[in-house]
Every structure is written in structure tokens, then in C-alpha cells.
């Protein structure tokens, strides 16, 4: 090039070539620094009761994510019709809100205003707020459409909480029952005592979300709840991923993320403070080529205080804020004495060694 100058395009090309070369040559399975799935195997054993020297292992603020396959097509116990019927009713209710309920409301109604917005999530935002009204009105359809609804106390978990057809669905009632059971077990596994987890009085608020082609739900949290759940009723090859963000922060060496590929029938449970996002679904052309239904259908759950999400000045009272994991592990003194200082791991070089 004239004068030894290189265009920005060439610089960019060289940069990405070098990045791709590093990525291709990197093998996580042989990296001596990368954690493996056995990283916490020792912690998960029952606490050692042997005599002699021990170490005390404390794990605070653990990020516990649990994936529960509910339907038999992915290793669960319910038939595939379980998630299929839930997805069908969710799409029917979503379509009814979009085509009939929302447009039929008077001008200026808060729910109708959502439909006049142009951003991709406007319809689901309106659909969510209608379902929130239904939950607070214990399934009373007319009250949920009031211009200025009351703010009643949070209903108990066994109250009606959705539109009539959804409330009448046996699959919907069983799903809420499963979440009720696995939620308490999740809290125990996260470090809460059995007595507290089983005696905790909380609300179980869920709603449906239907994402069409090219839609997504950006990073967010549910701070103020005890924990969060998401059931995937429909999610084909083009349905996008569930992305979990690094709770340690976004500055290097942190800022990592994990992508999960949910399957129809999966129930996810995770902390309310964990940032998560539903990545963009594929455009309709891609979905039509695969022959899949062009919707991702989920049932998110907020499991939290009966009085609603804890405000920031009451976070000190959150029973999930003090969860921790503890184990006692026996010390192998002979192995410690026989270890060589500076011994390299297999394939690992000392700093500066070539």
C-alpha cells in the first residue's frame, strides 16, 4: 500500500483473523487453568465425621441454577402434551389480548396504550401487565380490565391467578404445584434451613410470554423476590438461548456469561439477583424453513414475599440474602508433606519457560 499505510478494513481483517486463530487453537478440555465439571465434587460429599485435622469450607452467595426436565421427551415424567397444551393456551390468550381485548378497551386505557407503542416488546409488556392485574384480582376478568384497578393484597398461591381458560387447565394447575414443590427444595439446596424453606409464606406469581420472530427480552433481574423460575412450554431450534450474566461484575477478568439452550418441558430455577436475558429468536424466514412454530412460549415465575417484592430499605430482612454452603473436609497430612514445592501440572510451564 502507498507509503506503507494500511486501511482500516485491512486492520480489522487482520485483527479478526488473529482472534479466530486464537479461538480455534484454544482447547478448553486441555487447558490446565479451566475448571471442569468435577470442580466441586469434594464439596458435595457429606461432611467428614472422621477424627483428625479438617478444613472448613465456606461457600457464600452461591449462584445455584437448577434445570428440571418435566416432560418425558426430555427425561421427565409428564407426557409431551403437558407443555404442548400450555403453549397452545398461552398463544390463544396472547392472540386474544392482541386482537380483541387490547383494541376493545377505551382510548387512554393503560393496557391499550401498550399496543400503540412501536418497540418490539410492547405487545408482551401489555400482555404481562394484564396478567399481573388478573393475578392481583384472583382471576376476576372484569376487575383486571378496570381503568383504575385497586391494589389488593397479594393472593395466596392456591387462588385463581390467570384468565378463566388458563385457570381451568389441569396442566397449568400441575405446573404451579410443581413450582411450589421444587421452589422450596431449591431454597434448601441453596443453603436455607429446612424449617425456614418449608414454613416460608410466599406468593407465586406467574405469567406467559410469547416471543415472535426476531424478538428478545434484554438483560434484567427480579431483585426483591426470593428466587425466579421459567418454564419453557415451546422452544424450537430457532427459539434463542437463555443467557446468564456474570454476577461478579462486567469488568475484566469478569464479565463472563453462560448460554443455555432450553427445551420445551424444561423448568429453570435461579436467584432473583442473577442477570438473565432471552436472546433474539430467528427471523420468520429461518423458522419457516425449519417448519417450526414461530413462537417461543415461556411461563416465568416470581417466587417472593406475600406483600410483594421487598423494597430496598427492607432487603436486610430477605431470608435468601444469608444463604451459604458449609462442609468439613478431612486433611490428608501425608499427601501435604510429600507434595513438592513448585511442582508443575501436566503440560504446564513455569512463567518465562519456553
Question: What's the whole-number mean pLDDT along residues 130-157?
Answer: 85
Q: pLDDT at position 200, please?
A: 86
Q: pLDDT at position 159, please?
A: 83
Residues 21-42: b if buried by 16+ CB within 10 A, e if exposed: eeeeeeeeeeeeeeeeeeeeee
> 163-191 pLDDT, tens per residue?
999 999 999 999 999 999 999 999 888 87
pLDDT exceeds cutoff 70 at 239: yes
> 58-67 pLDDT, tens per residue?
877 778 899 9
Q: pLDDT at position 46, please?
A: 72
Q: pLDDT at position 40, please?
A: 62
> Is-contact 166 93, C-beta < 8 A?
yes
Cα 36 to Cα 31, 41, 102, distances in angstroms: 10, 10, 50
d(CA 119, CA 114): 10
- Tell me the pLDDT band of 287, cut-offs 50, 70 and 90: very low
Q: pLDDT at position 353, please?
A: 55
> 69-109 pLDDT, tens per residue?
999 999 999 999 999 999 999 999 999 999 999 999 999 99
Better pLDDT: 114 or 33? 114
- Tell me the pLDDT band of 43, cut-offs 50, 70 and 90: low
Domains, the chain: 63-317 (2.60.120)
If you average pLDDT over every residue of the chain, what do you get? 81
Q: pLDDT at position 247, please?
A: 86
Lookup: cell for 340:
513438592
- Tell me the pLDDT band of 208, cut-offs 50, 70 and 90: very high
Q: Which residue has the cell 427425561?
A: 75
Amino acid at each position: 500500500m502507498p507509503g506503507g499505510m494500511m486501511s482500516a478494513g485491512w486492520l480489522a481483517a487482520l485483527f479478526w483473523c488473529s482472534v479466530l486463530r486464537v479461538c480455534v487453537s484454544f482447547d478448553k478440555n486441555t487447558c490446565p487453568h479451566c475448571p471442569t465439571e468435577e470442580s466441586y465434587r469434594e464439596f458435595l460429599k457429606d461432611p467428614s465425621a472422621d477424627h483428625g485435622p479438617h478444613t472448613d469450607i465456606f461457600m457464600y452467595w452461591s449462584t445455584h441454577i437448577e434445570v428440571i426436565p418435566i416432560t418425558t421427551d426430555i427425561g421427565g415424567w409428564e407426557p409431551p402434551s403437558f407443555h404442548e397444551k400450555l403453549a397452545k393456551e398461552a398463544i390463544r390468550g396472547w392472540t386474544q389480548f392482541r386482537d380483541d381485548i387490547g383494541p376493545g378497551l377505551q382510548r387512554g386505557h393503560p393496557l391499550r396504550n401498550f399496543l400503540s407503542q412501536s418497540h418490539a416488546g410492547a405487545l408482551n409488556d401489555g400482555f404481562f401487565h394484564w396478567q399481573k392485574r388478573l393475578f392481583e384480582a384472583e382471576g376476576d376478568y372484569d376487575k383486571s380490565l378496570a381503568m383504575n384497578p385497586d391494589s389488593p393484597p397479594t393472593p395466596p398461591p392456591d387462588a385463581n391467578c390467570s384468565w378463566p381458560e388458563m385457570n381451568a387447565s389441569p396442566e397449568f394447575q400441575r405446573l404451579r404445584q410443581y413450582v411450589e414443590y421444587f421452589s422450596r427444595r431449591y431454597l434448601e439446596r441453596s443453603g436455607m434451613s429446612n424449617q425456614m424453606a418449608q414454613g416460608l409464606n410466599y406468593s407465586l406469581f406467574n405469567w406467559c410470554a410469547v416471543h415472535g420472530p426476531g424478538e428478545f427480552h434484554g438483560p434484567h433481574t427480579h431483585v426483591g423476590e426470593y428466587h425466579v423460575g421459567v418454564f419453557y412450554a415451546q422452544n424450537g431450534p430457532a427459539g434463542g438461548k437463555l443467557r446468564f450474566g456474570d454476577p461478579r461484575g462486567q469488568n475484566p477478568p469478569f464479565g463472563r456469561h453462560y448460554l443455555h439452550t432450553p427445551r420445551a418441558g424444561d423448568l429453570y430455577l435461579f436467584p432473583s439477583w442473577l442477570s438473565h436475558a432471552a436472546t433474539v429468536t430467528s427471523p420468520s424466514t429461518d423458522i419457516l424453513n425449519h417448519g417450526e412454530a414461530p413462537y417461543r412460549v415461556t411461563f416465568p415465575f416470581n417466587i417472593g414475599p406475600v406483600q410483594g417484592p421487598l423494597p430496598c430499605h427492607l432487603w436486610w430482612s430477605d431470608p435468601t440474602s444469608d444463604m451459604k454452603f458449609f462442609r468439613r473436609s478431612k486433611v490428608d497430612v501425608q499427601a501435604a508433606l510429600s507434595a513438592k514445592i513448585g511442582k508443575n501440572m501436566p503440560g504446564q510451564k513455569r512463567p518465562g519457560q519456553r
